[in-house]
A = this chain, B = another copy of it.
Amino acid sequence: MDTRIIDGIILTPLRQIRHPQGDVFHGMKKSDAGYVGFGEAYFSTVRKGDIKAWKKHLSMTLNLIVPTGKIRFVLFDDRLASPTKGVMNEFTLSRDHYCRLTVPPQVWMAFQGLDDDNQLLNIASMEHAPDEMERLPLTAIPYHWS
């Protein structure tokens, strides 16, 4: 198995700042690596065990943070000119593995809920546009979802 990180993917550990009345969790600053402009921020939830199947954004850069629950992200690179064409990566994010996952355009992503209440924040580089996205059914890209 090719264990390289897909070209353009950035996994950035984020700080959790302890506070007696409730912690502060970093998300993203405009000066951070992976920030390429603000278009929209939205939350997506996924039920325990469920998988939201493959999507590929043509132009949008995603910046994904999991403030609640635990989510497994699987990414697949089929970009013709990519040095990591054919590579698949898996990242599991939660408050215990609190990181920001930057996903460049043109990379396939699916994700699965692993806890009872799972929520991701996407700080997207552009506003949602349905014609900017392609979809594939879950079985189109083989992965052993446990």
* A123 vs B100: C-alpha distance when bound (angstroms): 16
Q: Is the pair B22, A45 in contact by a Cβ cutoff of 8 Å? A: yes
| Size range of the chain A interface in the assembly | 35 or more
Cβ of A34 within 8 Å of any chain B Cβ, yes or no, is: no
* A119 vs B16: C-alpha distance when bound (angstroms): 13
Contacts of A25 in B (CB 8 A): 42-45
Contacts of A128 in B (CB 8 A): 29
CB distance from A45 to the nearest CB of B (A): 4
Contacts of A19 in B (CB 8 A): 52
Chain A positions within 8 Å of B, measured between CB atoms, are 19, 21-31, 38-47, 50-52, 67-68, 113, 117-119, 121, 123, 127-128
